[in-house]
């Protein structure tokens, strides 16, 4: 019973401690606790790209402007990403400004800006690299890879920022508060239990740990549960007659 309670409580608090992005666009990602990633300061608003004709290893040039669309050469209108071939003769609209959204990359587990244009056929993924020391944003492109067009944007604006009110940060979610309470109670249980076992029960060594017998039995119970779950489908369901 105690093991079940501990596992259930742990799972609840692990889920509560997660802070997913709930309001996503091509410009801003807002989290449940009020914190944000806002790229609006990085984009030009005069219909020109902030990053123009950046050379990639595949020989092509890419222009990119966060948040706001730009116009560049015939064929690139209201663009977020525009591709120019190595001979500068062909210009391709790779993604429009409203094609993007913030996503959690399944491989890197990082927040990325994801663009998909059905005409281009493959996505463009901009890795957002947080660096508070970078005053001038750095934009790089690795060209088209197996996962799509690979890019990276390093900036202080790629960092998660908490809202502030009257000089105090209010970006602490209810889940974070519950996590703090949970681990504080766990620490109090361990310290208080060890003090009690040491000075009231005169325990020594591992016996000073409260409910040490329970904690020692957990690995064996986990093993039994795994073996039961794995081996159960292969057990025979027939019985001998008595």
Largest Cα separation within the chain, whole Å, is 89
Chain centre to alpha carbon of residue 222: 30
Residues 129, 183 within the same domain: no
Residues 142, 112 within the same domain: yes
Residues 132, 211 within the same domain: no
What are the pLDDT digits (tens) for 17-55? 445 677 677 888 888 878 888 898 899 999 999 999 999
CA distance 216 to 209: 10
- Which pLDDT belongs to residue 86? 87
Residues 143, 100 within the same domain: yes
Residues 201, 151 within the same domain: no
Tokens representing 139 are 């934009």
Residue 163, in any domain of the structure: no
- Which pLDDT belongs to residue 65? 93
Residues 87, 206 within the same domain: no
Residues 148, 50 within the same domain: yes
What are the pLDDT digits (tens) for 91-108? 888 888 888 888 877 666
Q: Which helix (H) or strand (E) holds 148?
A: strand 148-155
Number of domains present in the structure of the chain: 2
Residues 118, 181 within the same domain: no
Q: Which of 106, 130, 158 is the last residue of a domain?
A: 158
Residues 131, 84 within the same domain: yes
Q: Which domain holds residue 111?
A: 22-158
- Residue at token pair 């990053």: 51
Q: At what angle do helices 2-17 and 212-231 cross, to 10 degrees?
A: 80
Residues 29, 7 within the same domain: no
Task: Say yes or no to pLDDT of 15 above 50.
Answer: no
What are the pLDDT digits (tens) for 162-201? 755 333 344 456 677 788 898 899 889 889 888 888 888 7
Q: If pLDDT is split at 50, 70 and 90, which confidence band does 14 have?
A: very low
CA distance 188 to 6: 16
What are the pLDDT digits (tens) for 67-93? 899 998 777 888 999 988 888 888 888
- Which pLDDT belongs to residue 234? 59
CB 71 within 8 Å of CB 47 = yes
Reading across the β-sheet that carries 51-55, which strands appear in turn?
Answer: 51-55, 61-64, 79-84, 91-96
What are the pLDDT digits (tens) for 107-136? 666 788 888 876 667 888 899 999 988 889
CA distance 201 to 174: 39
Residue 187, in any domain of the structure: yes
Residue 98, in any domain of the structure: yes
Q: Whole-model pTM?
A: 0.58
Residues 35, 133 within the same domain: yes
Lowest mean pLDDT among 126-130, 151-155, 209-213: 209-213
Residues 40, 132 within the same domain: yes
Residue 200, in any domain of the structure: yes
């Amino acid at each position: 019973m105690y093991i079940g309670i501990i596992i259930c409580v742990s799972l609840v608090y692990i889920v509560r401690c997660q802070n997913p992005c709930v309001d996503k666009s091509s410009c801003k990602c807002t989290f449940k606790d009020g914190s944000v990633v806002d790229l609006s300061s990085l984009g030009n608003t005069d219909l020109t790209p902030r990053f123009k004709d950046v050379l990639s290893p595949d020989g092509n040039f890419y222009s990119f402007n966060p948040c706001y669309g730009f116009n560049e050469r015939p064929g690139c209108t209201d663009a977020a990403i525009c591709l120019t071939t190595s001979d500068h003769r062909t210009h391709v609209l790779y993604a429009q400004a409203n094609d993007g959204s913030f996503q959690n990359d399944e491989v890197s587990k990082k927040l990325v800006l994801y663009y998909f244009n059905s005409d281009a056929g493959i996505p463009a993924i901009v890795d957002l690299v947080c660096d508070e020391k970078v005053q001038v944003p750095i934009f790089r492109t690795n060209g088209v890879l197996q996962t799509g067009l690979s890019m990276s944007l390093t900036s202080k604006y790629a960092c998660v920022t908490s809202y502030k009110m009257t000089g105090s940060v209010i970006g602490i979610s209810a889940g974070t508060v519950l996590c703090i309470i949970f681990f504080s109670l766990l620490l109090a249980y361990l310290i208080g239990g060890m003090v009690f076992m040491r000075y009231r029960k005169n325990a020594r060594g591992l016996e000073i740990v409260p409910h040490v017998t329970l904690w020692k039995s957990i690995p064996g119970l986990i093993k039994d549960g795994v073996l039961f779950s794995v081996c159960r489908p292969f057990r025979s369901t027939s019985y001998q007659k008595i």
